[in-house]
Structure 1
Amino acid sequence: MAMIETSTQAYQRDRRVVIAGIVLISLLSWVYLFVIAAPGPVDHTSAHAGMHPAMAAWDGGLLALSIVMWSVMMIAMMLPTATPMVLSFTRLQHQREARSKAIRLTGWFSAGYLGTWIVFSLMAAFAQWALYSSNLMTSVMGSATPLLAGTLLVTAGLFQWSDMKEACLSKCRSPLNFLLNEWRPGSSGALIMGLRHGIFCVGCCWVLMLLMFVGGVMNLAWMAAITIYVLLEKILP
């Protein structure tokens, strides 16, 4: 006779599924970034819009590729940092008697969260196009002038000590408090909660993302460093 699954067992099973999903999506995103950042066989740069040396002739296709690049980059960097919040959401779904829907609702929550970063990616891609068209960026998408790099670094430093930064970061550091205060039932509720969490996350991290224009948009080490920094900001007191 099969054993009846307890609530704890059900949660642990779903927790493993959620973690596996986060790891898989994040890993695939990083693999994509590694592939497009790899030097090309002819011009020693990627043929992707993020690194192509002839970006002055941007058209709709290259802009679309840049949006895809930024979107995947944000998923690779920001999905892992949301792991504590996503797992807390799954746990609360189990505690609120939504066990059979926990995975699906967690998917909606995650989609809302990533949706805000995709919107940010649209703006970042247009900013990249504008900076390159103004000759303020190099062919490998780093700052072409010390003034731009310095301005971005100073802006990021000042923002780190701002009230807005602290207000948004406080929403990300305490997953349980955020979820209890923002709780909404059903799929639409999960999506809205994810969107709101994403808005707060973008609010506290958007300046850090602009530092990609300093180190180089496709600088993988720079991406990893910012990802680790954001994660530590969220989990450390």
Structure 2
Amino acid sequence: MTKVENFTTLSCAECAGGAGLGFEISMAYQPIVDVQKKQMFAQEALVRGPQNQSAAHIFRQVNDGNRYRFDQSCRVTALKTAAQIGIEGFLSINFLPRAVYRPELCIRTTLAAAEEFGYPISNIIFEINEVEKVDDPSHLSDIIADYKQRGFKTAIDDFGAGYSGLNLLADIPVDFVKLDMILIRNVDSHPTRQHIVKGILQLCADLGVQVIAEGVETYEEMATLRDLGIELLQGFYFAKPAFQAQAVVSEHVYSSPQ
């Protein structure tokens, strides 16, 4: 049987040092760009190993015995590294809902880290990974309500790829929805996907939710999504995740290739 860890509030130093995890983590950062303003909107923190090992390599080591410490360490490491490399504006951090046993207690380390590293609460976006099945929607709703009351922004990640995207959107008042790359791939030549994206855009507009398209890989995808009305885009077309550094977006990505 897997040992379930004892939930205790951790200090910033413990989290940043990976106390009790049994493995080390670091972060890479990928930009979310505003294609209308042609500027950076946010950077998403993506977990990596200390030598830039993949996220999959790291997640294979996460279990019920270290999930809470892993989630806490990811938050603090994301904030610490972002401060060290000078990221300004929004910082997007993924979190594991099943690692949050009581939101008002589990957020303490994040609040302390934000204060220590000088990162404004209003600039932090917490992403719910929609691929991970949500077993207790009311618990997740309580988490998001607590985070929003404190001034954090929230987002549903991988919308359209997992178990209950529309149910989450109906029950949980988030600020952003991130469209999964399965809807984005070849959207420029796929009328059905274009209609689905249009429908989601209209739905989100009615709900006051902003849409981010992730997984953009070509100019044609970018141009189509921009013309459909999506202003915030993310993907390899703009920049691959930069290990322990800010990713740079070149101006030429906004212009039609010659």
- Give the TM-score normalised by structure 2: 0.25
Greater strand share, structure number: 2
Greater helix share, structure number: 1
- Give the TM-score normalised by structure 1: 0.27
Larger Cα Rg: Structure 1 or Structure 2?
A: 1
